[in-house]
Amino acid sequence: MRIVCISDTHDRHEEIAVPNGDVLVHSGDLTMTGSPATVVRAFAWLSALPHETVIFVPGNHDFAFERDPAFAEALAARFPRVQILVDAGTTVGGLRVYGSPYQPWFHSWAFNFAKGEAGEREAQERWALIPDDTSILITHGPVRGILDRTSRGEHVGCRQLAARIEALESLRLHVCGHIHEGYGTQRRGNVSYVNASSCDLAYQPRQAPIVVDLAP
């Protein structure tokens, strides 16, 4: 099964050459402002892609999904080819997939945990929802210490997500974005980590989609 990973396209999606594959994963920040109009335009593009399965997890710029759940429901009905995962799962090629848009506090954007210890507790509760048999995990933000280093040299990923992943014995792939300069791949044990941020730090779509092949 060929999985094509993109993220953080920020309204520049039509400038991205998306390779063919079985599954297209977009791990958030489809837009810059998250307005309904920009989301609809981007979803029309996602829906037209040739991949058999298209999965989208919102990001911190995609405000419409946090502010108006009814809009997200209407969007799903209008574009049924795109599966929207907000603390929800699906099955692809016999593998359990789970997606969540949340990340540690980040400049008052969407889907933030609170600051400090309260946020750590929120994160622990949120990640406990991930099913134990998850094989593919899609989150907008990275885990702490893996593909999460900013241009200032700071690691800003989620500690609680890293702890939860350690307990997921079936996990084979984690896809994220959010930290544009963290773009790339890493392998830790049995898990392939992908930061698929398509835009670079200057919000230019210069970072190519990342392709992962998984045996079903």
Has residue 107 got a pLDDT over 90? no
Per residue in 74-106, pLDDT (tens digit) is: 999 999 999 999 999 999 999 999 999 999 998
pLDDT at 106: 83
pLDDT at 215: 87
**Mean pLDDT of the 114-142 span:** 96
Per residue in 151-188, pLDDT (tens digit) is: 999 999 999 999 999 999 999 999 999 999 999 999 99
Q: DSSP letters of 34-102?
A: --HHHHHHHHHHHHHS--SEEEE---TT-HHHHH-HHHHHHHHHH-TTEEE-SSEEEEETTEEEEEE--
pLDDT at 100: 98
Q: How confident is the model at residue 192 (pLDDT cuts 50, 70, 90)?
A: very high
Please tell me the distance from the alpha carbon of residue 47 to that of residue 30, in angstroms, as a whole number: 13
Has residue 189 got a pLDDT over 90? yes
Beta bridge partners of 187: 192
| Structure-token match 């992962």, residue found | 212
pLDDT at 85: 98
The listed CATH number (3.40.50.970, 3.60.21.10, 3.40.50.720, 3.40.50.10490) that belongs to domain 2-213:
3.60.21.10
Per residue in 26-56, pLDDT (tens digit) is: 999 999 999 999 999 999 999 999 999 999 9
pLDDT-above-90 percentage for the chain: 96
**Mean pLDDT of the 109-137 span:** 95
**C-beta of residue 113 within 8 angstroms of C-beta of residue 102:** yes
pLDDT at 216: 74
Beta bridge partners of 158: 143
Per residue in 135-150, pLDDT (tens digit) is: 999 999 999 999 999 9
